[in-house]
Structure formats: structure tokens, C-alpha cells
Structure 1
Amino acid sequence: MSDAYLALEDGRVVEARGRAPGRTRGELVFTTAYTGYEESLTDPSYAEQVLTFSYPLIGNYGVRSERFESDHIQPQAAIAREFTEEVVEWCESEDVPAIDHLDTRDLVTSIREEGAMKCGLAVGPDATPEAAKEELDACKGMSEHTDIGAQVSVDDPEVYEGGAAATVALIDCGAKGSIIDSLVERNATVHVLPYDATPADVAAVDPDVLFISNGPGDPVNFEAAEQLVSEYLGDLPVAGICLGQQVVANALGGSTEKMAFGHRGVNQPVRDLETDRVVMTTQNHGYTVGDPGDRLDVTQVNVNDGTAEGLANEDLGVITRQYHPEANPGPHDSLDFFDDVLDLVSADAPVAASD
């Protein structure tokens, strides 16, 4: 008899082996990454989601906290064909349900064909299909979480001293730690501000750059960050990564849309439209910029589906990426993005007024 059940929005209930007990619910998504499971499980962009690993064995090189992108596991639950004991113990220690010994290939195929779907999970000696269905029903009945940023953002400002190359106001919508590290390594001092920071909060930092981070959920829910972009556009260079690109696009008159199953993995090919160079990138997002509007140029596109991977407005000093240039654990093809952001400061950009 199974001790884990996964109830899917398409009506199926999948039996599995329970590894870490609990009951939960969320949006079922998958990642194709075959390394970097520690980074994936601590990525705040996975908040309120149930993460399925398509690679069959997760945990083969242990668990080390220095690889974490935040201070705890972010998905609601974790699913794999097989987890090692170290990953199981990690999930247990944080009360995050985990299951394995199920056909993850079938799950991934279902998500690709039907899109990301809601699910319910019941794990443990008393788990039943009915309990999993109850979680699914509760998930279906939940209204959209419009304040998801509160789960993943700092409560109070934090400062990471790097040096005098630039002062960066990083709006934390769920920032990965390696974004901060990438800026500090380039001699920038980073002020991490809450996702709902006000213009006065930013002014108090007196930054050289406004930087909107990655994060979970629908970008339209991050109204405060969007307002900051509008407020400082033309006065400060503006940069963004992942959700940050989407927020910037919305602030400049573009629009965003939900993808069928998103881009999640470490092998997404991106082509630069100016150089025609293709780089491999790490990605984790379920929304994309559908229309950049008439104030942003698309500079990079996804080779697989043509979605916008880079946006810019040279006159206003705006540069964004949909993927993760910090790419921890890799690939590192696009780390020069952070150099480009700091070059905006050295070039004394922007030069045009926002109106």
C-alpha cells in the first residue's frame, strides 16, 4: 500500500513512495536541470509551487548550505523519480513533503501537453487518495495570491558591502542570493530593499542603479516595484532579471502573459539579435513579456519559442534579462550582464527624460 498520493487537476491520483511526510497543495511544475537541485529547491521563484525534477536521481552529490539561494526550501513540495537520503533528511528537517518512486516522465509529459496544473499532496502513514483530493480542492478554491512578495522578500533593508563601483538598490521580489553575490564581486555595494519599498526608501539609499529582482507569481502583483521603475525612469539606470524584466516591461507600457508550462532548467538557448551569438541559460519563470510596447527594444530571444529574453532602452539606461545571468550552478555564458549593468553607471546613463 502506498503512503503518498498526488491528486492532479486532470482528475488523476498518482501513487508514490512517501519520503518526507505532510499535506500540501500548489501549482505543479517541472525543471529539466540535472544538477543544481540545492539551488532550485531554495530559489524563491518556486514559492507556492510543487517542483518535479525530470532528472531521475536527485541528491547524488549531497546537500551543502553554501549552495543555497535562500535560507530555506521554497517549493511547497518536491517530487523526483528517486531522492537520496540526504535530500530526504533536508526536506524532513524543514517540514516540506517529498515523494519519489513514481513516473516523473509521465508527469512532465502531462505538464507539457496540458500546462502547469494545480495539485494536492498527502504523504505519510495515514495518507489517502481522499486527503490528496481535499488538498487539490482547497487549491482550486483559493483566490490568486496577490501579495506573494511578502513570503519571499526581506522585511527590512539589508546592506551588502562590495565597494565603490556602484550603489545598487535591489528591490527584493524574491531575489536569489547569487544575484547579490554577482554584484558584490564586481565591487558594487548592494542595498536590498523590501518588495513594497517606496520612492522615499530608494531615495534614502541614493543609488546609482535601480535593480528589480526575480520572484514568484504574476508580475502584475508587484505594483510597488512597477511604480518605482516609473518613478526613477530617466533619473537612474534600471535593470531587471526574470520577474524583474516583466515588471520593467509593464512599467514602460508593455504587457505580460502566463506561459503554458514556463521555462525551468539550465539548458535554454538564447540568441542575441545584435551579435547572433547563442548562449545557454538558466531559467525559472512561468510568465513572459508578451508585448514589450514601443519604448523597449527586444535584444535577445529564446531559440525554442521566440519569447523575449532581453529588453533595452539605451537612451533611458534600461537593460533586462528574462533568464538568470548569475546562473548558479551554471552555465556561466551570460555573467557579463552584470558588467553591462555597471557600465551604465560608468557611462553616466541615462540621458533622456522619462516623459
Structure 2
Amino acid sequence: MPDAYLALETGDVVEANARAPGTARGELVFTTAYTGYEESLTDPSYEAQVLTFAYPLIGNYGVRDERFESDRVHPSAVVARELTDDVADWLRAEGVPAVDGLDTRDLVLDIREGGAMKVGIAAGPEATPADARAQLADCPHMSDVTDVGERVSVAEPEVYGDGDVDVALVDCGAKQSIVDSLVERGATVHRLPHDTTPAEVAEIDPEVLFVSNGPGDPANFEAAEALVDEFVGEVPLAGICLGQQVVARALGGTTEKMDFGHRGVNQPVLDHDSGRVVMTTQNHGYTVADPGALDVTQINVNDDTPEGLDSAEMDVLTRQYHPEANPGPNDTLDFFDDVLAMAESRRMSLAAD
């Protein structure tokens, strides 16, 4: 007998098995990644979403906290064809509802054909379809989740590393591996709340302003956008994922919601200058529609959406994908070297003056 139910925005109710009890609601999305489930589940970019794994077995190499990207699980609930006991126990301990025993192929096709949709979930011995429908009825659209930055950002500044380049990382939901990638290359990373003011950044006097990844609609990160507007031309700017979208918006561009987004570890990206195609890890539901003052230097091979933006004149460099993805392709780790090289170039230019 099923003891879990998914109420979809289409009106369908899908039966499943409860692996971790509870009720939840959120935007139903899927990832094609077949490894990195620990990283995905602790990625703040999945906040307020229900994550469906397209790969049928999740948990086949256990759960180890050194692989976590943050200190908690971020999806509102988890859906899979089969979850191992290790993962189910972890999600139960985290208080995150989880279900399996359903045909996730059908679910993924629904999302691909109809786009990311709202879903309500009820799981456990007392769960009913009506409980799931009640969750669906209360589910907001992703663009209306305006407090998402507060949910995922640090509350107070934190400092990592002791290098010779000061990086102000605006934490809109930053993955830990972004911090680690910068520290490994000799940076001191000042991890700042998403609503940090220009005056607070100026006190740090950074050599790079870096806007992180994060969940939801970039239009809801107005404070980060204001920082870009304030420091462009004065400090080199960088961004990853939502960070690219925020930077583009601040520099005259626009963003739009995608039908079902890019989520997985095998997204092909073409670099215009080199003609090289690299495989990337991605997790985003919005994209840059108009780059504004920036040049599009890389595109997604599948749908031509912008994957890399830059401006040599303004010292701006951004990526839509995750160069630091771990595990995942490491073809693009040189992005962090290029970001820090902008700081070195600016330092030399100021010394020459």
C-alpha cells in the first residue's frame, strides 16, 4: 500500500513510498546527475524546491559530510526511484520528507513537457492525497519566494583563508566549494550576507567583488545588484550561476525563467574564442535573456543560452555553470585563476600609475 502522495500542478496525484515522513511543497525540478547526490542535497540553490533524481538509484556510495556544500539539506523534499537506507536515514534525521517507489521517468517527462511546476507532498502512515493537495494549494511560485536570500545566506560576515587577495563574496547561497576554490588559490575570502551594503563592502576594500550562486529569481536579490552597480569599474567583478544573472541585471541586462532549467553534470558549453566545448555542472532555473553591457563569450550547446559573460574594459567575468562542481567535470577550474588574475592586473595597473 502506498503511504506517500505527490499532488502535481497538472491535477494528477502520484502514489509513492514514504522513506522520510512529513509534508512539503515547492517547485518540482529534476537533476540528471548520477553522482554528487550529497552535494546536490546540500546545495543552497535548491532551497524551496522539491528535487527529483532522474538517475534510478540514489545513495550507492553512502553519505559523508566532507562532501557537503553547506550545513543542511536544502530541498523541501526529495523524490527518487529508489533511495538507499543511508540517504533515507539522513533525510529523516534532517526532517526532510523523502519518497521513492514511483516511476521518476514519467515525472521527469512531465517536467520537461510542462515545465517546472508546483507540487505538494505528504508522506507517512497517516498521509492522504488530500494532505498533498492542501500542500499544493499553499505553494507559492518561485518568483514569489522573496525571503529566499535570508534562508540561505550567512547572517554575519565570515572570513576564510589568509591569502594576499581579498575577495568579497556576496553570499546569495554560496556553495562551500566556491570558497575553497578561492582559498586554495591564495585568496582571503570575506563571506558577506546577501544584503550587505556598499559601505560595508568598502570597509573591506576588496580586490574582487564576487556574487555567488543561489536559489530562485535573481530579481529578489536587489542588494547584491546594488553592490555590482556601486563597484563596477572600481573593483573587478565575478559571478557564478545566480551571480551571473545578478551582474547582468545590474549592468543593463535582463533575466527570464526557463521552462525546466539546467540541472545536471553533463551540460555542454561552447567557448566562442577557443572553439572548445567543455562539459559542465549546472543548477539553475533562470537565465540571462539580454546581457546588457556585457559580451556573451560562452553558450550552452543545447539551447544557446549564455554561459559566460565578460567585459575586459570593466573587469567583469561571470559563468552560469559551476566551475567548482565537486564531483563533476573539472574542465573549467581555471575560471578562478582568471578571476584572481583580474585582481593582479588591476593591482599592477594601480602601481604603475
Shift of 1:162: 3.7
Residue 124 of structure 2 is aligned to residue 100 of structure 1: no
Partner in structure 2 of residue 172 of structure 1: 171
Q: Is the 8 A contact 1:22 1:123 kept in 2?
A: yes
Partner in structure 1 of residue 28 of structure 2: 28
Q: Is the 8 A contact 1:236 1:350 kept in 2?
A: no
Q: In structure 1, what is the Cα distance between the partners aligned to 2:158 and 2:140?
A: 37
Partner in structure 1 of residue 199 of structure 2: 200
Tell me: CA distance 1:143–1:171, structure 2 relative to 1, closer, same or farther (3 Å).
closer
Partner in structure 2 of residue 80 of structure 1: 80
Partner in structure 1 of residue 310 of structure 2: 312
Q: Is the 8 A contact 2:170 2:192 kept in 1?
A: yes
Q: In structure 2, what is the Cα distance between the partners aligned to 1:232 and 1:79?
A: 42
**TM-score using structure 2 length:** 0.97
Shift of 1:349: 7.0
Q: Is the 8 A contact 2:57 2:82 kept in 1?
A: yes
**TM-score using structure 1 length:** 0.97
Q: In structure 2, what is the Cα distance between the partners aligned to 1:297 and 1:62?
A: 43
Q: Is the 8 A contact 2:22 2:123 kept in 1?
A: yes
Report sequence identity in percent: 69
Q: In structure 2, what is the Cα distance between the partners aligned to 1:46 and 1:141?
A: 14
Q: Is the 8 A contact 1:174 1:214 kept in 2?
A: yes
Moved runs in structure 1, 4+ residues, more than 6 A?
349-352
**Structure 1 portions without partners, runs of 5+:** none
Q: Deviations over 1:224-280 (max 9, x none)?
A: 000000000000000000000000000000000000000000000000000000000
Q: Is the 8 A contact 1:162 1:186 kept in 2?
A: no
SS in 1 for 2:281: strand
Q: In structure 1, what is the Cα distance between the partners aligned to 2:62 and 2:3?
A: 25
Partner in structure 2 of residue 41 of structure 1: 41
Q: In structure 1, what is the Cα distance between the partners aligned to 2:10 and 2:267?
A: 28
Q: Which amino acid counterpart does residue 151 of structure 1 have in structure 2?
A: R
Q: In structure 2, what is the Cα distance between the partners aligned to 1:327 and 1:19?
A: 28
Q: In structure 2, what is the Cα distance between the partners aligned to 1:7 and 1:145?
A: 20
Partner in structure 2 of residue 341 of structure 1: 339
Partner in structure 2 of residue 260 of structure 1: 259
Partner in structure 2 of residue 321 of structure 1: 319
> What is the root-mean-square deviation of aligned Cα atoms in Å?
1.4
Q: Is the 8 A contact 1:162 1:185 kept in 2?
A: no
Number of residue pairs matched?
350
Q: In structure 2, what is the Cα distance between the partners aligned to 1:56 and 1:86?
A: 16
Shift of 1:201: 1.1
Tell me: CA distance 1:265–1:141, structure 2 relative to 1, closer, same or farther (3 Å).
closer
SS in 2 for 1:348: helix
Tell me: CA distance 1:56–1:170, structure 2 relative to 1, closer, same or farther (3 Å).
same
Q: Is the 8 A contact 1:210 1:238 kept in 2?
A: yes
Q: In structure 1, what is the Cα distance between the partners aligned to 2:181 and 2:25?
A: 34
Q: Which amino acid counterpart does residue 310 of structure 2 have in structure 1?
A: A
Q: Is the 8 A contact 1:254 1:289 kept in 2?
A: yes
Q: In structure 2, what is the Cα distance between the partners aligned to 1:343 and 1:351?
A: 12
Tell me: CA distance 1:194–1:263, structure 2 relative to 1, closer, same or farther (3 Å).
same
**Structure 2 portions without partners, runs of 5+:** none
SS in 2 for 1:250: helix
SS in 1 for 2:138: helix
Partner in structure 1 of residue 232 of structure 2: 233
Alignment of 1:242-257 (within 5 A): 242-257=241-256
Q: In structure 2, what is the Cα distance between the partners aligned to 1:216 and 1:61?
A: 27
Q: In structure 1, what is the Cα distance between the partners aligned to 2:155 and 2:325?
A: 26
